[in-house]
C-alpha cells in the first residue's frame, strides 16, 4: 500500500474523521505527506487540517436519524421551522446566523427572488435554512459538503421541506463540473477553501454556469473575537472580483459579511 492509502485508511478508521469523504482526506493527506518525512506526522497534520476546515464547526453529537423523525412528524409549518432552527444550532456557522435568519436570505436574495435553483457549496447544515429563503415553489436545491452522514441527512431533508434536489459528498475545491444554477451559495466557505487551495474560489466562479453567487465571510472567529476580519475579508473579496465586470451588492451583519455577485 502507498503511504497515501495507509494515511487515508487510518483517518477513515478514526471516530472523528471516519464520516468524511475520501477525496478530501486524500487531497489534504497528499499535501501533508509531501511536506513531511514520517507517515505519523502526516496523519496528525491531516487530522489537524480536517479539523480546521470541517470538524471545528460541528457539534460532537449529531442525531441525524432523530432529527429526521421529528421533521417528518412536524406537520404544522411553525413546528417544522422550529425543528429546522434547532438543527441549525448544531453547527457554529449556522448557529451564528440564527439571530439574522428572518432577514439574511430575504435581504441578500431579494433582487433575484424567486430563486429557481440553488447550488450550496460547503453547505453544512445551511439547507435547513430553506424555509426562510425566497425560493420558488418548484425550486431545485443542491448541496455539497465533505461529510457522508450530513449529506445523507440533507438528501432526506429536502423532500420534507418540499424541494427536489440532491446532496453530494465531495471536495468542492476539486470540482470539475457543476449543474447550471440560478444562484451558487458560498456561505462562509471561501476562507475554508483558501486553506486547501487558494485558487479554488476563482476557478469555481469561472467554472460554474450561474448568473449569481452569494458569497459570505464570518465576522467572528470561533473564539468569538473580531480580529480585523472585516478588513481582511473585504480585501479577499476585492481580490476575487478584481478586473471583472460583475455587479456586486454588499450586506453587512454583526456576524457575517455577504456579497451578491451577479455576472
Ligand atoms: C464555515 S462552515 C460553513 C457552512 C455553511 N455554508 C454556512 O455558512 O452555514 C464550512 C463548511 O464547509 C465544509 N467544507 C470544508 N471543506 C470543504 C470542501 N473541500 N468541500 C466541501 N465542503 C467543505 C465543512 O464541512 C463545513 O460544513
State mean pLDDT over 232-255.
96
- From the CA of 172, give the closest atom in ligand 1: 20
DSSP label of 195: H
Substitution candidate for ligand 1 out of 31, 64, 126, 146 with most atoms within 8 A of CB: 146
When computed from its CA atoms, the radius of gyration of the chain, rounded to whole angstroms, is 18
Is a pLDDT exceeding 80 seen at residue 214? yes
User: DSSP string of 125-151?
Assistant: TGGGGGGGS-EEEEEEEEEEESBHHHH
Q: What is the mean pLDDT of the chain?
A: 95
Query: Cβ(87)–Cβ(125) under 8 Å?
Result: yes
Substitution candidate for ligand 1 out of 118, 124, 219, 258 with most atoms within 8 A of CB: 124
Task: Pick the closest to residue 118 from 161, 85, 57 (CA basis).
Answer: 161
Q: How far is CA 146 from the centre of its chain?
A: 9
What pLDDT is recorded for position 1? 78
Q: Hey, what's the torsion of the CAs at 129, 131, 136, 142, to 10 degrees?
A: 40
Is a pLDDT exceeding 70 seen at residue 223? no
Counted residue by residue, the chain has a size of 263
What pLDDT is recorded for position 171? 98
Q: Which triple of cell numbers denotes residue 102? A: 428572518
- What's the whole-model pTM score? 0.96
Q: Dump pLDDT digits (tens) for 50-68.
A: 999 999 999 989 999 999 9
Calculate ∠ Cα 234-224-15, nearest 5°. 105
CA distances from 263 to 11, 75, 206, 247 (A): 40, 40, 10, 6
Amino acid at each position: 500500500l502507498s503511504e497515501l492509502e495507509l494515511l487515508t485508511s487510518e483517518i477513515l478508521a478514526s471516530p472523528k474523521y471516519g464520516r468524511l469523504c475520501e477525496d478530501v482526506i486524500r487531497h489534504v493527506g497528499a499535501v501533508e505527506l509531501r511536506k513531511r518525512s514520517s507517515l505519523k506526522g502526516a496523519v496528525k497534520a491531516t487530522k489537524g487540517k480536517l479539523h480546521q476546515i470541517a470538524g471545528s464547526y460541528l457539534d460532537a453529537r449529531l442525531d441525524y436519524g432523530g432529527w429526521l423523525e421529528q421533521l417528518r412528524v412536524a406537520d404544522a409549518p411553525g413546528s417544522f421551522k422550529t425543528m429546522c432552527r434547532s438543527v441549525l444550532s448544531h453547527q457554529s456557522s449556522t448557529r451564528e446566523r440564527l439571530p439574522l435568519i428572518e432577514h439574511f436570505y430575504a435581504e441578500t436574495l431579494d433582487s433575484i427572488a424567486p430563486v429557481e435553483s440553488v447550488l450550496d457549496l460547503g453547505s453544512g447544515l445551511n439547507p435547513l435554512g430553506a424555509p426562510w429563503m425566497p425560493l420558488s415553489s418548484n425550486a431545485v436545491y443542491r448541496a455539497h459538503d465533505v461529510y457522508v452522514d450530513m449529506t445523507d441527512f440533507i438528501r432526506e431533508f429536502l423532500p420534507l421541506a418540499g424541494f427536489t434536489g440532491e446532496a453530494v459528498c465531495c471536495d468542492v475545491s476539486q470540482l470539475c463540473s457543476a449543474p447550471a444554477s440560478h444562484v451558487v451559495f458560498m456561505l462562509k466557505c471561501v476562507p475554508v477553501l483558501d486553506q486547501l487551495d487558494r485558487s479554488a474560489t476563482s476557478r469555481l466562479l469561472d467554472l460554474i454556469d450561474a448568473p449569481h453567487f452569494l458569497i459570505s465571510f464570518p465576522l467572528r472567529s470561533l473564539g468569538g473575537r473580531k480580529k480585523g476580519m472585516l478588513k481582511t475579508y473585504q480585501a479577499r473579496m476585492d481580490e476575487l472580483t478584481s478586473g471583472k465586470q460583475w455587479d456586486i451588492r454588499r450586506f453587512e451583519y454583526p456576524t457575517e459579511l455577504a456579497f451578491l455577485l451577479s455576472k
